[in-house]
Amino acid sequence: MIKFFTLLFYLLYTSLASGQSLEKIRSDALIKVCTAGGFVPFSSYSNKGWEGFDIDMMKDFAEYLKADIEIINYNIDGIIPALSANKCNLISTGLVITEKRKKSVLFSGSYFKSNVIFLFKNDNKVLNNIKSAAKLNNPLFKIGVKIGTTNDFYATEHLQKSHIFKYNEYGDLVNSVRNNKVDAIIIDSIYGKFIEKKFPGIFRYKNTQAQDQHFAVAARNADKDLVEEFNKFLKEWKSSGKYELVYKKYF
């Protein structure tokens, strides 16, 4: 019985605490943001500190709230559990809206759109001749994905006959195809364009048949006020021209 009431109190406390995030952010003048570093050009860490489209967006959101910002790094497969455990107020890391994730978090409006591609080396004659990603569903192919991403989910669902290799870091994922450990990697189109530009003449990519992916900020389900405030900020950020400036900076 004591354990039951202890659990009930804990659930009630965390529910109330999470539902007051916006009020607490304003009173503490601090917003905590969970991100997954290494997802260039959205969120990455270098000797210059944190940088990327999402990072600049959240810094501007913090300024909008008249708050400081604390950025906390998590791997993508642990980032929603971290949010649920009150380690941060929001997730901003190019997180794709999915029906499964909607059961765990509350999404903002979409701030970016991308699609799923497969990227491979330009000298790979076999993949150059493939016209459909469905042809990758073959035990002859080794496919790399970033663990915990929607691209991982895509490969698991559509490429069951292929040999799937999962990587924790985007850098390791790119190196896997660069060093011929895998034949292709499944990634977002915007990241594919970045890699193609970074290594001119080495890579090319083709679209899959997956639907467009929409990126959004995520909060706990109780934090509706915080998400509504972000949506107001996003609308103003776009209309002011700042969105376009940050977009041109990174893309």
Q: List, for residues 222-243, the tens digit of each pLDDT value.
A: 999 999 999 999 999 999 999 9
Is 5 a domain residue? Answer: no
Is 149 a domain residue? Answer: yes
Contact 145, 250 (CB under 8 A): no
Q: Does 60 share its domain with 93? A: yes
Place of tokens 């706990």: 220
Q: Is the pLDDT of residue 120 over 50?
A: yes
Which SS3 state, helix, strand or coil, does residue 145 take? strand
Q: Does 105 share its domain with 221? A: yes
Please give the tally of structural domains in the chain: 2
Q: Lowest-confidence range among 44-48, 105-109, 159-163, 175-179?
A: 44-48
Dihedral angle over CA of 140, 168, 62, 50, nearest 10: -100
Distance from C-alpha of 94 to C-alpha of 36, rounded to nearest angstrom: 9
Is 91 a domain residue? Answer: yes
Contact 45, 73 (CB under 8 A): yes
- Give the chain's mean pLDDT: 91
What residue numbers bound the domain in which 228 lies?
A: 21-113+214-250
Q: Which of 84-87's residues contact partners 24+ apart within 8 Å by CB, and which partners? A: 84/220, 86/14, 86/17, 86/18, 86/220, 87/32, 87/34
Q: Which residues contact 149 (CB under 8 A, 6 or more apart)?
A: 76, 96
Q: Which residues contact 212 (CB under 8 A, 6 or more apart)?
A: 113, 114, 115
Q: Does 41 share its domain with 108? A: yes
Which pLDDT band holds residue 132 (cuts at 50, 70, 90)?
confident
Task: Tell me the CATH number at 235.
Answer: 3.40.190.10
Q: Does 32 share its domain with 149? A: no
